[in-house]
Structure 1
Amino acid sequence: MITYRLDAHPGKARGLKAITTDGLLSIAALDHRRSFAALYGGTLGYRGVRTLKRRLIDAFAGQASGVLLDPNYGILLDDGHTGLIVTLEAPGHTVHNGVPESALLDGWTVGKAKRIGAAGVKLLLHLDPRTESIFKVEYPGPELVGEIDGIIGAPWAMLSGGADFDVFEAALRRACAAGCSGFVAGRSVWQEIKQLPDTARRDAFIDSTAVKRFASLTSIVHKAATSVWSKVRVEDDLDVDWHHRYGEAAR
């Protein structure tokens, strides 16, 4: 029996509603910084990276339940209607004893992310099931994917991790059958743009292949994924004085 650990006070519940569609996660991950800055020999520059990210955001609009952006290149690129998640991390990460470790971006905080309208934040952490969070998990293989739900006991989404699209699509099907609530996908959907410096060819790829890929992933999720609300205990003991109890502990 799974004991679900994620409690949703009013603020957290609103955040979950903002980044889900019918309780399911279809997140377009565009928080990459170094990889975008290095495209085409680093010729895009700051404004060019922002323009390309905006192009991808617009392409997935209407399909994505949320978009994951970075505070360096991605702020104010979202359409204001899709749920916004912002990373807290500095670019890149190190590996210590086989475990990836990240650092917080200097000068950037949860409070600042909230003030620009973010519904959630993203942080790379070694899995600790005691954390009250939605987890994004890399595919552990067919032998272990069925164990994730019982270990985490909270909503989780499949992270594409830059895998080839066909590989990730198959992994997502298995993950949905094992209780996941959706996906967080970036490079697996659009990484071929690295070989397309010509704007017209790049746009054609985005509007055809990338959009179809995102639609396929979203279709899998809506057919087979598990709603986040089945694993979230929403606070329902509200009364006329609930706001007095909604303090620091609920932030």
Structure 2
Amino acid sequence: MESLTIGRWRGLQQLSTPEGVFCIVAVDQRGALKRMLEGKGRSSDPAAMTAVKREIVGALNRDATGFLLDPEFGAAPLAASGDLLGRNGLAVSLEATGYEERAGDRLSSVLDGWSEAKIKAMGASAVKLLIYYNPRREAAARHQEELVRQVSARCRALDIALMVEVVTYPSSDDQSREAFQAERRALVVESAARITALGIDLFKAEFPVAPAVTQDEAVWYQACRELTEASRTPWALLSAGVDFDTYARQLKVACRAGASGFVAGRAIWREAAEETDSSRRQAFLNRVMPERLRELVAIARREAAPWTSKLSASRVDEGWYRDYRGLEA
């Protein structure tokens, strides 16, 4: 079992329940949210992006253990407005939205002008890095792994927790959708094994079985057990834009198989961006969306494995503070 320095330990505590279960709402979408708003004829200027995020976080801040927010439209504005409560943990995105495409490969980068040190300085609980990754694409995989190593080293120097989200993509440019979905289980499990070995603290994972491949929950469970066994760190389930009912089923299976909770976005709040009827939208924000979150929280608290089953706090000896490096590293 890996032991965490006190800053990383406290960061994960802030993002989870007292029992060690993550109930985090992801509202760090930038490009995806912009497309959702524009697809419904709504404004997507910076003020509109922030306004939607405020509505979502303001309606969910009593039930979520934490929020994942972006630096451009979310983290600082929502902290300053009071929509993000002091008791809510905060993970902040490090990466630029989207990816650079080179010969079919998808390469991630840090947002220009942003850094792990700034995330630490603003009082966040954790840094979050999203990478597009396929271990079969060897050159791109090496590039992404090196990025994770560099970010991990900087986070450790700052003593701040690091969450890494992996989004897989096809192994070849001409791979069919069906073939990619069939391969997803192997890709997600291998990605967990490789990325969690690079010094991260929390793995934000795709559900390893595409719903189109099978609806057999016994198969889902076995795939999630493989993911748990492959991961050196705790893992939490992302929602990947699936509908809420599907996600709730996935979360129940994932938690029974060893996941430590969820970091979910659009499955909870999609209609906040897409509903154009004002009365229906208000009903969604006030009633449906909070009910969805409460249902997921109940599942996670009942079924999830605590993250402390894979991580412990570093030993604290008398006079520890003399040798603590903190920001002096």
* Fold match (TM-score > 0.5): yes
Q: In 1, Cα distance between the equivalents of 2:4 and 2:240?
A: 28
1:215 partnered with 2:294: yes
Distance 1:136-1:95 versus aligned 2 partners, 3 A rule:
farther
Contact 2:204 2:263 in 1 (8 A): yes
Could you say which structure has the higher helix fraction? Answer: 2
Task: Give the secondary-structure state (helix, strand or coil) at the position aligned to 1:130.
Answer: helix
Contact 2:260 2:300 in 1 (8 A): yes
Question: What amino acid is aligned across from residue 111 of structure 1 in structure 2?
Answer: A
Distance 1:116-1:36 versus aligned 2 partners, 3 A rule:
same
Question: What amino acid is aligned across from residue 93 of structure 1 in structure 2?
Answer: Y
Question: Shift of residue 112 of structure 1?
Answer: 0.4
CA RMSD, 1 decimal: 2.1
Q: In 2, Cα distance between the equivalents of 1:194 and 1:249?
A: 39
Contact 1:37 1:46 in 2 (8 A): no
Task: Give the secondary-structure state (helix, strand or coil) at the position aligned to 2:317.
Answer: coil
Counterpart of 2:171? none
User: Alignment length, in residue pairs?
Assistant: 246
Counterpart of 1:10? 6
Counterpart of 1:247? 325
Contact 1:101 1:124 in 2 (8 A): no
Q: In 1, Cα distance between the equivalents of 2:280 and 2:289?
A: 12
Q: 1:140 aligns with which of 208, 211, 234?
A: 208
Question: Shift of residue 34 of structure 1?
Answer: 1.9
Question: What amino acid is aligned across from residue 206 of structure 2 in structure 1?
Answer: E
Counterpart of 1:28? 25
Question: Shift of residue 248 of structure 1?
Answer: 6.3
Question: What amino acid is aligned across from residue 17 of structure 1 in structure 2?
Answer: Q
1:129 partnered with 2:184: no
Distance 1:233-1:166 versus aligned 2 partners, 3 A rule:
same
Q: In 2, Cα distance between the equivalents of 1:183 and 1:98?
A: 30
Q: In 2, Cα distance between the equivalents of 1:250 and 1:155?
A: 28
Q: In 2, Cα distance between the equivalents of 1:214 and 1:28?
A: 8
Counterpart of 1:160? 239
1:191 partnered with 2:270: yes
Question: What amino acid is aligned across from residue 83 of structure 1 in structure 2?
Answer: G
Counterpart of 2:117? 111
Worse-superposed segment, 8-17 or 23-32: 8-17
Query: Residues 7-86 of structure 1: matches in 2 within 5 Å?
Result: 7-22=3-18, 23-38=20-35, 39=37, 40-76=40-76, 77=78, 78-86=84-92
Counterpart of 2:142? none
Task: Give the secondary-structure state (helix, strand or coil) at the position aligned to 1:124.
Answer: strand
Question: Shift of residue 211 of structure 1?
Answer: 1.1
Contact 2:197 2:232 in 1 (8 A): no
Question: Shift of residue 80 of structure 1?
Answer: 2.7
Task: Give the secondary-structure state (helix, strand or coil) at the position aligned to 2:249.
Answer: helix
Task: Give the secondary-structure state (helix, strand or coil) at the position aligned to 2:130.
Answer: coil
Worse-superposed segment, 94-103 or 230-239: 94-103
